[in-house]
């Protein structure tokens, strides 16, 4: 029955509030001064209307009960066993003089945590594509008051952005929040999620009123991206040397490879690495590696030249040179030996061999 008259009571309460002065010098004092209560929780709050108990005073409420303190006729208590109203408050007042009331309206917030938080990608299912824009949507169900709600979007532990509600409903509502993102290859394999938080200020509960969504694993198609250059330097090999050509790339899905070999080669190859254990002259030419992925392609061209192995000729040349050098040395030595040992003398050289001796006096 009370529910039928509740709107009228609230209207009367608002009329009274409009008629009172909230800026008087000594306003009534609520303890606590601000109240934040969870829906269905109980409350109990006191108000001291005035220090002068002789003045007419009171506490007006729309729900619950009020009780005057037995020790002070200007002290009131408001208590509600279970808060079931979303838009209500209390007015503590006293009559300073006939026709002039001084009052304080209790700032009261009734809140309800979200029943559910979920994340999705708007108008999209399946893998995403690199460098394209998508819209993330975070749906928060049955939360109040929505004007105190902030939604944060995450990629892993990285904050993508925050969105605050612009609605002003005190009763529970379901609201959807959107954030646009541009995907990169680094997003592949990351987890997307959102979190709803009611920001209730210092008077709110000690533990934050938050609720995260489930995590959605993101799959992003990208590439292929070559791990090396598309135009490597020409390769020169000695006949018989191994050939190793690598055109590896990364991408999602995994890239596929095909090779175009020099003319005259009918063998095909479909791996990222092409190997020839020992090259011959027939392996010289242009090798083209075609890399294909998601919806893109890349090409790598290798130019290979095969030359003869001239090492044996160098060795032979060195050996011949050494032999000629040795032969020349032997010939020169033999000529000099014959010239100095076969009896050809110069008389002046002979006489120079007889050196003059000078007597050295001995000590007495």
Kindly report, residue by residue over 199-229, the tens digit of the pLDDT.
Answer: 999 999 999 999 999 999 999 999 999 999 9
Give Cα 208 distance to the centre of its chain: 25
- For residue 49, is it within any domain? yes
d(CA 82, CA 61): 14
- Phi and psi dihedrals of 323, rounded to 5? -60, -45
Residue 281 has pLDDT above 60, yes or no: yes
Number of structural domains found in the chain: 3
Q: How many CB atoms lie within 10 A of CB 137?
A: 16
Q: Is residue 354 part of a domain?
A: no
The answer to whether residues 264 and 250 belong to one domain is yes
Choosing from 307, 323, 345, the residue where a domain stops is 307
- The Cα–Cα gap between 323 and 321 comes to 5
Rounded Cα distance between 21 and 27, Å, is 9
What pLDDT band is residue 364 in, cutting at 50, 70 and 90? Answer: very low
Q: Are residues 230 and 248 in the same domain?
A: yes
Report the pLDDT averaged over residues 116-130: 96
Percent of the chain with pLDDT over 90: 66
The answer to the question of residue 158 being in a domain is yes
pTM for the model stands at: 0.73
**Residue 84's closest CA among 166, 2, 205, 202?**
2
Examine the domain organization and report whether 245 and 148 are in the same domain. no
Please report, for the domain that includes residue 237, its CATH number.
Answer: 2.60.40.10
Among 218, 252, 267, which residue terminates a domain?
Answer: 218
Please check whether residues 25 and 104 belong to one and the same domain.
yes
Residue 178, beta-bridge partner list:
137
Distance (Å, whole) CA 110 – CA 103: 22
335 falls within a domain: no
Q: Which domain holds residue 209?
A: 116-218
Across the range 280-286, mean pLDDT stands at: 92
Which residues does 221 contact at the CB level (< 8 Å), separation at least 6?
127, 128, 129, 130, 252, 253, 294, 295
Residue 8: the pLDDT is 45
Picking from 265, 282, 307, the residue at the C-terminal end of a domain is 307
The alpha carbon torsion through 37, 40, 42, 47 (nearest 10 deg) reads 50
d(CA 62, CA 53): 24
């Amino acid at each position: 029955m009370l529910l039928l008259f509740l709107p009228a009571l609230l209207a009367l309460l608002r009329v009274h509030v409009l008629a009172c002065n909230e800026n008087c010098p000594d306003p009534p004092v609520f303890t606590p001064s601000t109240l934040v209560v969870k829906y269905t929780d109980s409350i109990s709050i006191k108000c001291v209307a005035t220090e002068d108990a002789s003045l007419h005073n009171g506490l007006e409420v729309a729900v619950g009960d009020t009780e005057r303190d037995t020790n002070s006729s200007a002290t009131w208590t408001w208590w509600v066993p279970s808060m079931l109203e979303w838009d209500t408050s209390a007015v503590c007042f006293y009559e300073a003089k006939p026709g002039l009331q001084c009052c304080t309206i209790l700032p009261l917030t009734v809140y309800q945590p979200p029943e559910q938080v979920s994340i999705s990608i708007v108008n999209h299912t399946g893998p995403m594509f690199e460098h394209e824009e998508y819209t993330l949507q975070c749906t928060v169900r049955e939360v109040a008051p929505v004007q105190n709600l902030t939604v944060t979007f995450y990629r892993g532990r990285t904050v993508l952005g925050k969105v605050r509600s612009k609605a002003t409903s005190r009763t529970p509502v379901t609201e959807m929040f959107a954030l646009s993102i541009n995907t990169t290859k680094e997003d592949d394999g990351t987890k997307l999620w959102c979190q709803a938080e009611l920001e209730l200020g210092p008077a709110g509960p000690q533990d934050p009123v938050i609720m995260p969504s489930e995590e959605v694993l993101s799959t992003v198609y990208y590439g292929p991206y070559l791990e090396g250059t598309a135009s490597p330097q020409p390769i020169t090999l000695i006949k018989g040397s191994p050939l190793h050509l690598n055109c590896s790339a990364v991408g999602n899905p995994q890239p596929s490879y095909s090779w175009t070999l020099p003319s005259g080669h009918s063998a095909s190859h479909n791996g990222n690495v092409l190997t020839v254990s020992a090259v011959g002259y027939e392996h010289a030419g242009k090798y083209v590696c075609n890399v294909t992925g998601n919806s893109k392609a890349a090409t790598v061209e290798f130019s290979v030249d095969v030359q003869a192995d001239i090492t044996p000729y160098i060795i032979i040349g060195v050996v011949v040179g050494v032999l000629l050098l040795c032969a020349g040395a032997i010939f020169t030595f033999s000529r000099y030996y014959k010239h100095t040992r076969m009896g050809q003398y110069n008389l002046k050289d002979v006489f120079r061999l007889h050196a003059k001796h000078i007597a050295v006096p001995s000590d007495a």
